[in-house]
Amino acid sequence: MAEKKTSAPAKGQAKAAKSGEGGGFMQKLQPDEALAAVIGSEPQPRTEVTKRIWDYIKQNNLQDPKDKRTIKADAKLKKVFDGKDAVSMFEMTKLVNAHLKK
């Protein structure tokens, strides 16, 4: 019978595991003041940031009913969206990332 080889974790994964923080999407990032008004001020992984933004959008009925890919900005989101009244969900990701720090 052939013996299964286990591969060693990639360098970044091993370092992240030792430090207790995930890398990539699981790395906790600090939202700035504008984003914190929407999702909370505690550091969070990108996956949680995205989830909380979508929760906020749905709770406040901010998706354009005719084009679900368009997000309408209320006063809080307008600060995150660089003053724009509406953005596409794809543009939203880029704009939100600008409000996150390591």
Model's pTM, two decimal places? Answer: 0.74
Tell me the backbone φ, ψ of residue 43, rounded to 5 degrees. -60, 140
Identify the CATH assignment for 26-101 out of 3.40.50.720, 1.10.245.10, 3.40.30.10, 2.102.10.10.
Answer: 1.10.245.10
Q: In the chain, what are the domain boundaries?
A: 26-101
* CA–CA gap between residue 36 and residue 99 (Å, rounded): 9
Q: Which of 59, 44, 42 is nearest to 97 (CA)?
A: 44
Q: Are 60 and 52 in contact (CB under 8 A)?
A: no
| Tens digit of each residue's pLDDT, the chain (102 residues) | 555 555 555 555 444 444 445 566 689 999 999 999 999 999 999 999 999 999 999 999 999 999 999 999 999 999 999 999 999 999 999 999 999 998
* CA–CA gap between residue 86 and residue 72 (Å, rounded): 4
